[in-house]
C-alpha cells in the first residue's frame, strides 16, 4: 500500500525522505488561510485518491504520454507543413524546437504554482490552455503563428508532466514510488512507438492540420478525465502561500541539496543520451546503414519495447529486493558500456560493421534507460516531500534543457559518420556516472543510515 509522507528514513532507497538541511533552507510550507476559496474536489482526502489507484495510474500515464504524442505525431507531417506554407525547412523545424522549449520552461512555472494552489487547479488550467492552443495550431495561417502556438502548446502541456510527478510524490513513498514510476513508464513509453504511426495514418485521410485536430480531441478527453477522476492530492496545510520570491527561494534551497542536485543531473544526463539516440537514429539507420523507413520504424519500436520491459522488471522485480541506488548504478554502468561499444564500432576499431551490431548496441543502451530514469526520479523526489511540485519542475526542466543542448551535436560531423552520436552518448553517460558517484555518494548515506 502507498505510504503517507513522513520524515522517516527510507531504508530501501538508503536515503532520508527529507534532508533536514534542505528543510531548513527552504522552510516549512506555510498554511493557506482558512478562508481561501475551495472546490469540492479540493476537500477530497488523499486517501480517496489512493483508493482509485488504477484510475490514477491511467490518468497520470495519459498526462505523461501527451507530450510525446504532441511531438511525435507531428513528425511525419513536417514535409507537408513545409510545402503548405512554402517556408524553408529550417523554419518549420522551429515548430518542434518551440514545443520542446515550452515543455522545458513551462515546468518551472507550473511546478511552484502546484505547490501553492494544489495540483488540480494548475493542471486543469494547463489542460484547457493546451486544448485551445492545439486547436489554433490546426488553423494557423502562417508558419510564424504555428511556431508561436506550438510554444504555447508546450508551455501548457508541461503541466501534465510536472504535476504527474508531483502527484506520485504526494501519494507514494520509498519503493512504492519507484514502482509507480516504472508503471508510468509502461504507459508513457508506448506513446513514442504509436505516435508516428498514428500521425502517418491521419495523413492518409487528411492533411497535417488533422493531426492537431486529433491532438485537440485527445486533450479534451484527458481534461474531462482529470476533472472527474483525479482528486486533489496536496492537503492545504502542506501548500506554500508565498509568491514568486518564495518559489525562487524554494528552488534555490532544493538546488543547495547536493544529493537532490546529483540525482537531478544524473537523470538529465541519462535523458540526454536518450535524446541523442532520438535525434540521430533516423539519419544513422537510414542514411549511413541504408535501412528502409520500415526497418527504422521496426528498430525504433523494438528499442522502445526494451526500455519498457526493463522498466517493468525494475518495478516488479528489483524494487524492494535491490536498493534503488544499486539498480541505478547498474543501469548507468550498462549505458556507459553500450555507448563505449557503439563508439568503437562506429569509429571502425572493429573494421566495417553492419547495421545489426550497431542496432544491438542501441537496444542495450535504450533498455538500460528503464533502470536509470524511474530510479533517478524516485530518489530525487524522496528528498522533497515539502516541495514536490518545484522539485518535479527542476527535474523535468533540467532533462529537457540538457537533452536540447546535446541532441544537435549528433550531426556536427555531417552525414558520413555516426561517431558524433556515440561520442555524445558516451560523454553524457560518463557525466551521469560522475554526478552519481561525486554528488549522490550512495555508499556514504548508506553508512549514515546504519
Predicted pLDDT of residue 2: 41
Task: Taking residues 118-138, report their average pLDDT.
Answer: 94
- The highest-confidence range among 49-63, 85-99, 370-384, 389-403, by mean pLDDT, is 370-384
Which of 9-13, 58-62, 126-130, 278-282 shows the lowest mean pLDDT across its residues?
9-13
Q: Cell 546503414 maps to which residue?
A: 289
Which phi-psi region, left, alpha or beta, contains residue 27 (left: φ > 0; alpha: ψ -120 to 50)?
left
Predicted pLDDT of residue 426: 96
- The predicted-structure confidence for 210-227, as pLDDT tens digits, reads as follows 999 999 999 999 999 999
Task: Taking residues 231-246, report their average pLDDT.
Answer: 75
Helices (H), 73-173: 78-85, 89-117, 120-139, 143-171
Predicted pLDDT of residue 250: 78
Cβ(25)–Cβ(253) below 8 Å? yes
The DSSP secondary structure of 397-414, one letter per residue, reads HHHHHHHHHHGGGGGTT-
Which of 36-40, 115-119, 295-299 shows the lowest mean pLDDT across its residues?
36-40
Q: Is the pLDDT of residue 288 over 90?
A: no
- The predicted-structure confidence for 435-450, as pLDDT tens digits, reads as follows 999 999 887 765 554 4
Predicted pLDDT of residue 173: 78
Q: Is the pLDDT of residue 6 over 70?
A: no
Q: Is the pLDDT of residue 22 over 50?
A: no
- The predicted-structure confidence for 84-94, as pLDDT tens digits, reads as follows 898 887 687 78
Q: Is the pLDDT of residue 403 over 70?
A: yes
Q: Which residue has the higher pLDDT, 344 or 174?
A: 344
| Listed residue (280, 273, 266, 247) closest to 398, CA to CA | 266
Q: Is the pLDDT of residue 31 over 50?
A: no
Share of the chain above pLDDT 90, in %: 29
- The highest-confidence range among 8-17, 124-133, 243-252, by mean pLDDT, is 124-133
- The predicted-structure confidence for 35-60, as pLDDT tens digits, reads as follows 333 344 444 444 544 444 667 788 88
Predicted pLDDT of residue 96: 78
Task: Taking residues 239-258, report their average pLDDT.
Answer: 76
Cβ(134)–Cβ(215) below 8 Å? yes
> The C-alpha cell of 233 is what?
492530492
Predicted pLDDT of residue 352: 85
Helices (H), 314-449: 324-346, 355-381, 388-406, 419-435, 442-449
Under DSSP, the state recorded for 352 is S
Tell me the average pLDDT of the chain. 80
Under DSSP, the state recorded for 10 is E
**Which residues, in sequence order, are CB contacts of 370 under 8 Å at separation 6+?**
182, 185, 306, 307, 308, 309, 310, 311, 312, 313, 314, 331
Q: Which residue has the higher pLDDT, 15 or 77?
A: 77
Task: Taking residues 358-377, report their average pLDDT.
Answer: 92
Cβ(154)–Cβ(99) below 8 Å? yes
| Listed residue (174, 175, 133, 159) closest to 230, CA to CA | 159
Q: Is the pLDDT of residue 21 over 50?
A: no
Task: Taking residues 21-40, report their average pLDDT.
Answer: 38
Helix axes of 89-117 and 244-256: crossing angle, nearest 10 degrees: 100
- The predicted-structure confidence for 135-189, as pLDDT tens digits, reads as follows 999 999 999 999 999 999 999 999 988 898 888 888 887 778 878 887 777 776 6
Share of the chain above pLDDT 70, in %: 82
Task: Give kind and range of the element (H or E) at residue 140.
Answer: none
Predicted pLDDT of residue 40: 40
Amino acid at each position: 500500500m502507498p505510504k503517507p509522507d513522513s520524515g522517516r528514513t527510507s531504508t530501501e532507497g538508503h536515503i532520508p525522505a527529507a534532508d533536514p538541511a534542505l528543510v531548513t533552507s527552504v522552510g516549512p510550507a506555510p498554511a493557506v488561510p482558512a478562508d481561501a476559496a475551495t472546490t469540492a474536489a479540493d476537500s477530497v482526502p488523499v486517501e480517496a485518491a489512493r483508493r482509485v489507484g488504477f484510475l490514477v495510474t491511467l490518468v497520470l500515464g495519459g498526462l505523461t504520454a501527451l507530450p510525446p504524442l504532441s511531438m511525435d505525431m507531428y513528425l511525419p507531417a513536417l514535409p507537408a507543413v513545409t510545402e503548405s506554407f512554402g517556408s524553408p525547412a529550417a523554419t518549420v523545424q522551429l515548430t518542434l524546437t518551440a514545443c520542446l522549449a515550452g515543455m522545458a520552461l513551462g515546468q518551472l512555472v507550473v511546478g511552484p504554482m502546484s505547490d501553492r494552489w494544489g495540483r488540480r487547479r494548475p493542471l486543469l488550467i494547463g489542460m484547457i490552455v493546451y486544448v485551445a492552443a492545439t486547436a489554433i495550431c490546426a488553423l494557423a495561417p502562417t508558419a510564424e503563428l504555428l511556431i508561436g502556438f506550438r510554444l504555447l502548446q508546450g508551455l501548457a502541456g508541461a503541466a501534465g508532466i510536472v504535476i504527474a510527478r508531483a502527484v506520485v510524490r504526494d501519494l507514494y513513498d520509498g519503493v512504492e514510488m519507484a514502482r509507480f514510476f516504472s508503471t508510468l513508464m509502461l504507459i508513457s513509453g508506448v506513446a513514442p512507438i504509436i505516435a508516428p504511426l498514428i500521425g502517418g495514418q491521419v495523413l492518409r485521410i487528411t492533411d497535417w492540420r488533422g493531426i492537431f485536430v486529433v491532438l485537440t480531441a485527445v486533450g479534451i478527453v484527458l481534461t474531462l478525465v482529470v476533472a472527474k477522476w483525479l482528486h486533489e492530492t496536496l492537503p492545504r496545510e502542506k501548500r506554500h502561500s508565498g509568491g514568486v520570491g518564495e518559489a525562487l527561494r524554494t528552488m534555490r534551497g532544493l538546488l543547495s541539496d547536493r544529493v537532490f542536485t546529483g540525482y537531478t543531473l544524473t537523470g538529465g544526463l541519462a535523458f540526454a543520451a536518450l535524446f541523442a539516440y532520438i535525434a540521430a537514429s533516423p539519419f544513422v539507420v537510414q542514411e549511413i546503414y541504408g535501412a528502409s523507413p520500415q526497418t527504422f520504424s521496426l528498430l525504433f519500436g523494438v528499442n522502445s519495447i526494451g526500455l519498457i520491459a526493463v522498466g517493468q522488471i525494475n518495478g516488479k522485480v528489483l524494487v524492494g529486493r535491490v536498493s534503488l541506488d544499486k539498480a541505478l548504478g547498474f543501469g548507468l554502468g550498462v549505458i556507459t558500456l553500450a555507448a563505449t561499444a557503439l563508439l568503437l564500432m562506429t569509429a571502425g576499431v572493429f573494421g566495417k560493421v553492419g547495421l545489426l551490431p550497431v542496432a544491438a548496441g542501441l537496444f542495450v543502451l535504450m533498455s538500460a534507460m528503464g533502470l536509470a530514469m524511474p530510479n533517478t526520479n524516485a530518489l530525487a523526489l524522496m528528498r522533497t516531500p515539502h516541495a514536490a511540485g518545484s522539485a518535479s519542475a527542476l527535474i523535468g526542466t533540467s532533462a529537457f534543457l540538457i537533452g536540447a543542448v546535446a541532441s544537435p551535436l549528433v550531426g556536427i560531423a555531417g552525414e558520413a559518420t555516426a561517431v558524433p552520436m556515440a561520442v555524445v552518448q558516451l560523454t553524457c553517460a560518463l557525466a551521469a556516472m560522475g554526478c552519481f558517484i561525486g554528488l549522490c555518494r550512495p555508499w556514504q548515506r548508506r553508512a549514515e543510515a546504519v
